[in-house]
Amino acid sequence: MVVSYIVSHSAMALLLVLSSSLQALVVAAASAAAAGGRPPPAMFVFGDSTLDVGNNNYLPGPDVPRANKPYYGIDFPGSLPTGRFSNGYNIADYLAKSMGFASSPPPYLSLAPSTSRLVLTPRGNGVSYASGGAGILDSTNAGNNIPLSKQVQYFKSTKSQMATKLGSRATNLLLSNSVFLFSVGSNDLFVFATAQASESQNKSAAEQQRDVATLYTSLISNYSATITELHAMGARKFGIINVGLLGCVPAARLSSHGATGACLDGLNELASGLDDALASLLASLASRLPGFVYSLADYYGLSAATFEDPAASGYTDVADACCGGGRLGAEADCLPNATVCSNRDQHAFWDRVHPCQRGTMLAAQNFYDSRPGRYTAPINFKQLAYTSL
């Protein structure tokens, strides 16, 4: 049963991270710091469409995924489509507000043409490099997004210009106290699962399992290299959101056999395996990188609890897309000619793959201020934000 598997996954992942005595010390220190520390000076955002606030609007090409048309942004102030893959705000927005910022960090590509803006903005709230369709691997949806490796290069350019204008000492101090937010990996798994499905008839079960193991190795290796490189450039505080229940998004349900639109267990298991590997990676990095502090948000576990008891979160529909068309609202994209539900706050999903605004708000609330060990480990995002280094 999907739910029982999910719950066991969540418990295993959190226990794995909490097992180290070093992490216990981090929890104690972070709790004390959160009680009297200062808010972070900036937030730097990396990842995919779950965090993108408009970078893809600046990318050329007809195949770039963009959220720059109605009905995206219908619940954003002014009902404006901003490039967020949501009917309103996204998780980055709500986390930024929780950390005391007036707004989410703006997209890097909106700032890059102006050196002065690129330098001044990080002093105000940070920069977002997140890009819809991006993956941990460069090959994921290649050519139609800003892959994670390029996002890191954009940050390197940002830091260089900051150091030139502000000086290395001031820049390093700002970066060491800033939060580096990540949500990435879903697109890599979607692409892999699609390819594996088309090749399944030609491969044995053992060969398919070896492919999965190879994929995990590549993803974790790249994730590790990314965090290590950012740490070398001065990043210390990392907020990492793991991969949620990919098999339960409307687009995945649409592919399931039968008329019920059930979750795809295989895709959920693929996400679960990556999440376990990610938890192990972060615990390892914490023991090796000086000053490295992190909070791992369990989007998988939160989604599991939500789908097990939708009414507890105020949902009446956790299967259909609010904006789209056809079966489950997932046979058509969210475009100006799409059908849009009126009870958006009661829908878990906005379009074929993305949550509604209210869902992102609930996720941000849980990641920011819930009891550590519930949906975050070893500390929550609030403790991470206020930790003084």
Q: Which of 10, 49, 110, 183 is catalytic?
A: 49
Q: How far apart are CA 86 and CA 72, in angstroms?
A: 6
Closest CA relative to residue 250, chosen from 336, 94, 356, 343: 356
Q: What is the 3 state secondary structure string of the chain?
A: CHHHHHHHHHHHHHHHHHCCHHHHHHHHHHHHHHHHCCCCCCEEEEECCCCCCCHHHHCCCCCCCCCCCCCCCCCCHHHCCCCCCCCCCCHHHHHHHHCCCCCCCCEHHHHCCCHHHHHHHHHHCEEECCCCCCCCCCCCCCCCCCCHHHHHHHHHHHHHHHHHHHCHHHHHHHHHHCEEEEECCHHHHHHHHHHHHHHHHHCCHHHHHHHHHHHHHHHHHHHHHHHHHHHHCCCCEEEEECCCCHHHCHHHHHHCCCCCCCCCHHHHHHHHHHHHHHHHHHHHHHHHCCCCEEEEECHHHHHHHHHHCHHHHCCCEEEEECEEECHHHECECCCCCCEECCCHHHEEECCCCCECHHHHHHHHHHHHHCCCCCCEECCCHHHHHHCCC
Q: How far apart are CA 68 and CA 222, in angstroms?
A: 30
Q: Determine whether 354 is an active site residue.
A: yes
Encoded tokens for 34: 């959160």
Residue pair 352/333 in contact (Cβ under 8 Å)? The answer is yes
Q: Which of 48, 93, 275, 351 is catalytic?
A: 351
- CA dihedral angle for residue 308, residue 181, residue 66, residue 185, rounded to 10 degrees: -60
Q: Determine whether 49 is an active site residue.
A: yes
Q: Which of 9, 231, 347, 354 is catalytic?
A: 354
Closest CA relative to residue 51, chosen from 198, 219, 179: 179
Q: Determine whether 9 is an active site residue.
A: no
Which active-site residues does the annotation give?
Answer: 49, 351, 354
